[in-house]
Amino acid sequence: MSVSRQSCTSRQELFTVLAAGAVVLLVVHGLGRFIYTPLLPYLVDDGQFGAAEGAAVATWNYLGYLMGAMVAIRWHRIDQIRTLLPVSLALHVATTLVITQTDHLTVISGARWLNGVSNGIVFVQAPALILEWLVLRNRASMSGLVYIGVGLGLLLSSGLVTGSADWLEGAERWWPAALISIPLAWWGAARLMKLDVPVRQQESNNHPVTTSPLFDRASIPLFLSYAGAGLGYILPMTFLPLLAKVELSAGHWLLNGTWLIVALATIPGPWIWNKLGARIGDLPALKLNFLIQLIGVLAAIVLPSEIGLILCAALVGGTFLGTVLLTQRIGRALHPHQGPRLSAAMVALYGFTQMVGPWLTKQWLDGGGTLVNAFGIGVAALVFGLVFVFFVPRSE
């Protein structure tokens, strides 16, 4: 009876910890980062800024994300995570509240930059902390389920934007995200701070665990591949609803429907790609992942508007988290014992390429190019990433 009760308690604790991780990712990624995608067409219509300025605001957010990941590389110990994680969640709430109060482009850009910093830190540190906790309990294979929170965040952000579209305007449109973030961030942070994880892992001889170089012949192709993935997926994940607005008539269901499709496709993504990687191998699964994602972005360019938009939303939404999970799992296999440092380095690279995407789009639009043709940047990036997957060695 006591064994059964202990097993039940363990399952309940496991669910609670994974739920807390999913909630904080929902907050910073769904209500912080990607809610900007469905909001962008409305903010442009409200006259808060134009499409090019909107791309610049996105670039500032992605720059912050990159800087946050770099902060996480520097401060990656468990005791440092316990300090930075709640502070970063508080920064997310504060910056979102600031945006509800202003239409000034400089203030918006600054707030979105800081919001990106908080996002980068949390996106690295929350899964890393949970993974260390799971490793101690021989449940590391479940760590990817934390990323389901990203998909749920996309779904929630779609509902919040669509549901409040007719009665909010301009800066007011950020209020639903700000108000919901407060209790969710507080609960998630409070639960994660209670995790029983040693401050410093040690080897059996009582010496601190050493780390090998992150960049070598084995890992460099993987990092280059991940860079292509970051640039490839970020264009539809930032501009797909705006592309729908450009291509479709007013009142078309896909104006809001594209982001809903992305969200629904994203939710099962972590579970599907985790299972597929275990079944056929992480490297073959990653190659398939890149190919499907490439077809999705290409569909938005070459197929008729409704079909192309739907395929892009479904295929990119269903694959991009799989890219994250598979790449990080392959990276850990190539470089064991890297822990949060490896995750932070990969997120930093991912963040850099995501920052480049909106910046390139802005240059393209300022030069007279069209938004649909700008998606060709994403196609080229995914081809680049797919090629380098073939140079990644299999780990023993």
- HSE of 317 in the Cβ direction (CA atoms, 13 Å)? 25
160-184 mean pLDDT: 94
Q: Which segment of 3-7, 93-97, 103-107 scores lowest on mean pLDDT?
A: 3-7
Q: Tell me how crowded residue 68 is: count the other CB atoms within 10 A of its CB.
A: 30
User: Which of 39, 257, 36 minimizes the C-alpha distance to 169?
Assistant: 39
Q: Between these two residues, 119 and 208, which has the higher pLDDT value?
A: 119
Token pair belonging to 58:
């996105």
Whole-number pLDDT of residue 200: 57
Whole-number pLDDT of residue 339: 58
Whole-number pLDDT of residue 268: 92
Distance CA 45, CA 177 (A): 20
259-266 mean pLDDT: 89
Q: In the predicted model, is pLDDT for residue 156 greater than 50?
A: yes
Whole-number pLDDT of residue 154: 86
Q: Between these two residues, 76 and 264, which has the higher pLDDT value?
A: 264
Q: Between these two residues, 8 and 311, which has the higher pLDDT value?
A: 311
Q: In the predicted model, is pLDDT for residue 4 greater than 80?
A: no
Q: Each residue of 29-86: pLDDT tens digit?
A: 999 988 998 899 899 999 998 888 988 898 899 889 889 988 987 887 788 889 999 9
CA distances (Å), origin 302, targets 199, 307, 318, 319, 374? 52, 10, 20, 20, 13
Token pair belonging to 270:
């972590």
Q: Which segment of 201-210, 242-251, 322-331, 382-391 scores lowest on mean pLDDT?
A: 201-210
Q: Which segment of 76-90, 130-144, 202-216, 269-283 scores lowest on mean pLDDT?
A: 202-216
202: which strand partners?
Answer: 208
Distance CA 128, CA 341 (A): 9
The SS3 call for residue 202 is strand
Q: What mean pLDDT, rounded, does the chain reach?
A: 86
288-307 mean pLDDT: 93
The residues near 230 (Cβ < 8 Å, ≥ 6 apart) are 349, 350, 351, 352, 353, 354, 357, 381
Confidence of residue 345 (pLDDT cuts 50, 70, 90): confident
Q: In the predicted model, is pLDDT for residue 148 greater than 60?
A: yes
Contacts 24+ apart (CB under 8 A), 73-81: 73/341, 73/344, 73/345, 73/348, 76/125, 76/128, 76/339, 76/340, 76/341, 76/344, 77/199, 77/200, 77/340, 78/129, 78/132, 78/197, 78/198, 78/199, 78/200, 79/199, 81/125, 81/128, 81/129, 81/340
Confidence of residue 7 (pLDDT cuts 50, 70, 90): very low
Q: Tell me how crowded residue 199 is: count the other CB atoms within 10 A of its CB.
A: 10
- Burial class (CB within 10 angstroms; exposed 0-12, middle 13-18, buried 19+) of 159: middle
> How is 11-74 classified by DSSP, letter by letter?
HHHHHHHHHHHHHHHIIIIIIIITTHHHHHHHHHHTTS--HHHHHHHHHHHHHHHHHHHHHHHH
Confidence of residue 211 (pLDDT cuts 50, 70, 90): low
Whole-number pLDDT of residue 202: 45
Distance CA 74, CA 80 (A): 10
Model confidence, pTM: 0.81
Name the range with the highest mean pLDDT among 93-107, 152-166, 328-342. Answer: 93-107
Name the range with the highest mean pLDDT among 125-139, 260-274, 330-344. Answer: 260-274
Whole-number pLDDT of residue 330: 86
